[in-house]
């Protein structure tokens, strides 16, 4: 059975406001369907049957869409930040209270072509609390921010790079509610803080993937994902 998936879909989408208009990023349409449709379709094809959407910005639009268009035979629930955005870490922590055991985490603007089964099986055999998927920087256009050797993450930073940093955060993780033990009493924080805490305690394993990913958090990413879907539909 596949692990549940937590999707961070509460971002403001400021970089693509000209594309999104008054919609949240998840509802930007590609080939006649909102991005969230394609993301849920991908998860469904990977065997995921339970999804929790972390929402904040314009959450009512996403809930309205799901209430009318859920055709994936999934159990879809919501974890809403409330009056104040909780940050990526705070949002996942809140959602984790709805889940027993480990779960996938992915961003609401990412489309990940890797095999989720391989990632899950690797995680379950490692006996670590957290997993971060990585991809070599030559297979993406992002700045490398991870140093890794033999699936052991040696260094991770959102702001520091160097010659030893040759990998990028792929955007798919596996966590458990225990991963947030260091944030007791803290409501708003970033997932970077969680990964850093796990790394210091040797509780974060890395898993290298070779498949590319798409993101719609930038105008370039929107254009690339649109081209990808058009190629797939015409194949």
The proportion of the chain whose per-residue pLDDT surpasses 90, expressed as a percent, equals: 67
- How confident is the model over 20-36, as a mean pLDDT? 85
Pairing of strands 29-30, 33-34: antiparallel
Q: How far apart are CA 114 and CA 137, in angstroms?
A: 16
- Superfamily of 5-234 according to CATH: Spore Coat Polysaccharide Biosynthesis Protein SpsA; Chain A (3.90.550.10)
Specify the pLDDT at position 31. 93
Q: What is the DSSP string of 8-35?
A: E-----GGGHHHHTTS-GGG-EETTEEH
Tens-place pLDDT, residues 109-164: 999 999 999 999 999 999 899 999 999 999 988 889 999 988 889 889 877 767 78
Q: 224: which residues sit within 8 A by CB, 6+ positions away?
A: 214
Domain boundaries, the chain: 5-234
Rounded to two decimals, what is the model's pTM?
Answer: 0.92
Which one has a higher pLDDT value, 20 or 82? 82
Q: How far apart are CA 108 and CA 79, in angstroms?
A: 13
DSSP designation for 178: G
């Amino acid at each position: 059975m596949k692990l549940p998936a937590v999707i961070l879909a509460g971002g403001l989408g400021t970089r693509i406001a000209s594309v999104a208009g008054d919609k949240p990023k998840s509802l930007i349409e590609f080939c006649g369907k909102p991005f969230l449709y394609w993301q849920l379709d991908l998860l469904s094809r990977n065997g995921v049957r339970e999804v929790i959407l972390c929402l904040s910005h314009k959450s009512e639009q996403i809930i309205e869409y799901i209430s009318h268009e859920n055709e994936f035979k999934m159990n879809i629930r919501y974890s809403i930040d409330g009056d104040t955005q909780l940050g990526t870490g705070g949002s996942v922590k809140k959602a984790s209270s709805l889940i027993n055991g480990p779960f996938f985490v992915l961003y609401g603007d990412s489309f990940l072509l890797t095999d989720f089964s391989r990632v899950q099986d690797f995680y379950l055999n490692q006996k670590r609390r957290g997993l971060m998927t990585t991809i070599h920087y030559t297979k993406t256009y992002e700045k490398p921010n991870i140093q890794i050797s033999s699936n052991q993450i040696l260094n991770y930073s959102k702001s520091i790079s160097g010659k030893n940093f040759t990998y990028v955060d792929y955007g798919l993780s596996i966590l458990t509610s225990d991963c947030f033990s260091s944030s007791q009493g803290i409501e708003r924080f970033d997932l970077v803080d969680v990964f850093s805490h796990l790394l210091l305690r040797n509780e974060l394993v890395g898993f290298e993937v070779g498949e590319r990913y798409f993101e719609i958090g930038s105008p370039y990413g929107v254009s690339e994902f649109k081209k990808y879907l058009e190629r797939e539909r015409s194949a």
